[in-house]
Amino acid sequence: MPKLGRYLREARNREGLTQEDLADRVGASPTTVSNWERDVTMPGIEDVNPLVVTLRLSPEVMLQKMGVLLTPPAAARLPRELVLSLLELRPEELATIQKLARQWPGLRDD
């Protein structure tokens, strides 16, 4: 499976966009897009949803490319709407959810 950068570059080219076009549409700088495509940096959680929408990508594949791997049984149990909703969270919202999950005895690993 290709790296995230190659996946983004191929999708951008398929959509006929320049790095500058993509940067404008997702609210990033052209340098940031270039860094993503060269696997220098990874998009932040706040960048995922705009990239998925702009480049018409599968949210599940995008998460895989970012290293969020789910076993097939776990992935099959996740409703697509949940995955899409998680991608729309702002970083501070995701941090709050993670904090609450750590405090909930039934969700802790210990």
Per-residue pLDDT of the chain (110 residues; tens, 9 = 90+): 458 899 999 999 999 999 999 999 999 999 999 999 999 998 887 888 899 899 998 877 887 787 776 666 666 666 666 666 766 766 676 667 666 666 655 544 44
What is the residue-wise DSSP string for 56-107? Answer: T--HHHHHHHTT----HHHHHHS-HHHHHHHHT--HHHHHHHHHHHHHSGGG
Give the pLDDT score at 40: 92
pTM, full prediction:
0.63
* Per-domain boundaries in the chain: 4-107
**Domain 4-107 part of CATH 1.10.260.40:** yes
Give the pLDDT score at 79: 66
Structure tokens at 74: 């776990």
Phi then psi for residue 42, to 5 deg, are -115, 150
> What dihedral do alpha carbons 52, 29, 14, 81 form, nearest 10°?
0
Give the pLDDT score at 16: 97
